[in-house]
Amino acid sequence: MVRILILWSILLLSVLVNAQTTNSQIKGKVTDNKKELLAFVTVVAKDADGKMVQAVYTDEQGVYDLDDNALITQLEFSYVGFKSQTIPLGTAPAVVELTEDNAILDEVMITAKRPTIKREIDRLVFNVQDTPLATTNAWDILKQTPGVSAIGDNLSIRGSSSILVTINDRKVMLTGEQLKEMLESTDGTQVEAVEVITNPPAKYDAQGGAVLNIKLKKNINLGYKGSVTNRFKQTTYAVNTLGTQHFYSGDKVNLSGNYTYTKGTGVRYNEDNVIYENGERWSTDLTRKNKMKGRHSFNAEMDVKVDSTLTLTVGGSGYINEQTKGDFVIPTLIYNKEGIVESNYTTFNKKRANMDTYTGYFMLDKKFSHEKNLLWSSYFTYDNQKDNQDVLTELNFKDQVPSERFFATKDKSRTRLAVSGVDYTIDKETTKWELGGKYSIVKALYSLDFFDTKTSNPNKDKSNEYDYQEINWAGYTSFTKQWDKWQIKAGLRGEYTGIQTKSTGVGSDTQSYFKLFPTAYVKYDVTDDHHLSFSYGKRIDRPSYSWMNPAKSYYNLFSYFQGDPDLKPTISHNFSLSYNWNQLNIELFYNRENNPSMEISYQEPENNMLIYHYTNIDKRQLAGMIVNYSHQILPIWSVSPFLYLQQQEDYFYGVDKKLYKNDALIFGGRLSTSVDIEKKSNWKAMLTYNFYTPTVQGTFRISSYQRTDFIMSREFLKNKLAANLYVYNIFGSDRQIISTNYANQNNYFKDYSDTQGFAVSLKYNLGNQKVKYSSKEIDMTEKDRL
């Protein structure tokens, strides 16, 4: 496979180096009198009579590029707030400098504000730059994004938590708590918008359900810009984050980088209850306090513009958790059927975990003409994790002599992922054709050593090694056509997957499959303000590599987690019908999932074991309506409700092999209002209220939820210093009960993630804060499964 990648790389490089455009060009740059490049300047080529021959805009680097034409004798440059210039063709300099039109600027103040919510043919775009959320972080922004449901630290779209979270279409190799921590360290001022893509087009990997793409900004004007930020968060315990970010944009080279360091303590409160048919109830107070020794998140990127048609981008990112330390004391009380405690045991868990993950990537962006473009992107990811625990249990059971039991586990995982892909685009005025392919290979090794005593060798019966290898070949094509009031987009993606696994005690297994994933979109502009759209997409959700590991990972003597080596990929069909009027978006949807995978719990009465098992259920159906609206009540006051009504049905086979239906009619949403208190100092405030009626997930029924947050931000010292206050979960009302009750299964647990508190952040800006940004994208969604 390495040879294939090398040959592919050589072939692409030869194409890029030898490719030549057939037409001669008229090229140049446009700047202001401060030598800052100007994007979107109108450049009109005219003939001797002053008639227009052709017209273009300068790109994000201030470059204009016209096809040479014998009729062209003069070029006219115009830009809002600047004096227009007309220059004879033969005398046009390489860099045209425009001067500000002070007469216009003195008389008119131009305010360009994007719509907060914008519906495109295949996605909903949430612009955050003009909201108080821009002063928070990427995680808080995601939780407040229209169409996204946030319950505690769990995100879902249309009731599904199978979401690909990408940053400029790059997926960091983190999931769960690690992903949350990384996004919390991403400054909100870097975020331009969040794209909610419920039916991702063929260009995207078919893996996963919806895509949440965070679009970050990049410099487009010459100069340096940076900042230093400190964020202090206090809930039960304190967490402090120190970060810095820097950007430099030159004529040929752009540089960017950021680094954050987080240290503190977090806690999560749970109460687990298992009720058996004989009337016994086992109740566990599971409070887990973890101390972070130090967490580091960093990334760096460099763009090199080789010439006006070829750009090279190289970069890398990393996340290091030095150590998470937890010393848990977990009491369990055993009640008889009369509700009297007659036995108990206490678990002492000494837990230490650390991880590090690194990603390196590069892109070659070749423009063959105004219409044709080729993007070659590749990345490699390394991930290493360790999780060790010593568990001592003091047993005090009725009619038994008190005793102690000990075990220890050492859990290690190492993953390597390499991906390379090509995207070719022909983008004309009314049509767009996209074609591409991708190859990926992953190798993952998981080892679990189980020790019965502190000095013994590993117990071979309870230890395990799991080796996972996967290759994936993918190809796609997509076509977009626009005419009159219609816009259509259709695509087809094909993916071949080959998997090899080897596990101690289970043996080896291989599987392979090829599947097609069609997508279709139709948009009709009823008027300039009223739009109708329809979309359909078929998706696949392949299980994470670790979820297929059959090793038993013990929490205590009476509870463990186990993966499923026979996990099947989830296939989903998603339909959507939308109506858009200005800032109002109404969407009707229907989703059907076959073999959705998730974690369920079940109890074994014969040995009082509570097992958490990641497996497939039979199917899931969802149908409902989503409403997003943003309304400006006054120039300084706006409201943004997000509401949804959804019927969800989950079908699963119980431990008794019978098929059960778990369903709920769910109503929920988010109401937010923001006020611009003072424009001069950018003083803003925002209040949000989230609520949901009871929901379901597989065998679980999840209680209702509500939460209220408050955000306020202000700038000082001529916008050099920015301050932010975020009050989380004001009323402490987001506690939930998750229960299972069917056949002989009766268990529930109360969950509280310690989210009530506040955060204060200060940010000091460095350099030229007028430096502007653009964004660049690379597809790294494959990493979501690591």
pLDDT at residue number 170:
63
Tell me: the pLDDT tens digits for 84-131?
888 888 777 888 888 876 544 343 333 334 456 777 777 778 777 766
Q: Is the pLDDT of residue 15 over 50?
A: no
C-alpha span between 197 and 574 (Å, rounded): 12
Quick: pLDDT tens for 281-327: 999 998 899 999 899 988 898 989 888 789 999 999 888 999 999 99
Q: How far is Cα 242 from Cα 762, in angstroms, rounded to an integer?
A: 10
| Contacts of 530 by beta carbon, 8 Å cutoff, 6+ apart | 579, 580, 581
pLDDT at 60 over 80: no
Q: Is the distance from CB of 227 to CB of 244 less than 8 angstroms?
A: yes
Ranked by mean pLDDT, which of 33-37, 365-369, 445-449 comes out on top? 445-449
Mean residue pLDDT across the chain? 84
Alpha helices, H only, 196-254: none
Which residues lie across from 683 on neighbouring strands?
A: 678
pLDDT computed for residue 219 by the predictor: 52
Q: Residue 297's pLDDT is what? A: 87
The first and second tokens of residue 151, run together, are: 């319950």
Which band of pLDDT confidence, cut at 50, 70 and 90, is reported for residue 185? low
Section 25-38 average pLDDT: 82
Mean pLDDT across 608-635:
91
Per-residue pLDDT at 4: 45
Q: Identify the pLDDT of residue 13.
A: 47
Confidence of residue 19 (pLDDT cuts 50, 70, 90): very low
Which pLDDT does position 375 carry in this prediction?
92
pLDDT at 52 (0 to 100): 79
Instruction: Go through the domains of the chain in sequence order and give each one's CATH number.
Output: 27-107 (2.60.40.10), 117-785 (2.40.170.20)
Confidence band for 645, pLDDT divided at 50, 70 and 90: very high
What does the pLDDT average to over 241-258?
87
pLDDT at 574: 92
113 contacts: CB under 8 Å, gap ≥ 6: 130
pLDDT at 51: 80
Instruction: Report pLDDT for 177.
Output: 60
Q: What is the pLDDT of residue 178?
A: 60
Task: Give residue-wise pLDDT tens across range 378-428.
Answer: 989 999 999 999 999 999 999 999 999 999 999 999 999 999 999 999 998
- Region 230-240: what's the mean pLDDT? 94
Q: Residue 182: what residue type? A: M
CA–CA distance, 272 with 294 (Å, rounded to integer): 30
Q: Which residue has the higher pLDDT, 276 or 155?
A: 276
Provide DSSP, 578-618. Answer: EEEETTEEEEEEEEEEES-EEEEEEEETTTTEEEEEEEE-S
pLDDT over 70 at 36, yes or no: yes
pLDDT digit string, tens, across residues 712-763: 999 998 888 999 999 999 998 888 899 999 999 999 999 888 889 999 999 9
Query: Pick the residue with more confidence: 634 or 133?
Result: 634
What is the pLDDT, as a whole number, of residue 191?
81
What span, in angstroms and rounded, lies between the C-alpha atoms of 66 and 85?
17
Q: What is the pLDDT of residue 182?
A: 67
What pLDDT does residue 452 have? 92
Give the pLDDT band of residue 671 (cuts 50, 70, 90). very high
Can you give the pLDDT at residue 159?
Answer: 64
Residue 511 pLDDT exceeds 60: yes
Q: Is the pLDDT assigned to residue 81 strictly greater than 60? A: yes
C-beta of residue 439 within 8 angstroms of C-beta of residue 421: yes
**pLDDT at site 439:** 94
CA dist 590 and 67 (Å) reads 48
Q: Is the dihedral of CA 696, 702, 703, 705 positive or negative?
A: negative
**91: exposed, middle or buried (C-beta count within 10 Å: 0-12, 13-18, 19+)?**
exposed
Backbone angles phi, psi at 160, to 5 degrees: -110, 135
DSSP code, position 544: P
For the four alpha carbons of 38, 44, 48 and 53, in that order, the dihedral sign comes to: positive
* 507 or 80: which leads in pLDDT: 507
User: Given this model, what pLDDT does residue 339 score?
Assistant: 92
> Is the Cβ–Cβ distance between 377 and 779 less than 8 Å?
yes
Scanning the structure block, which residue is given the tokens 């504000």?
113
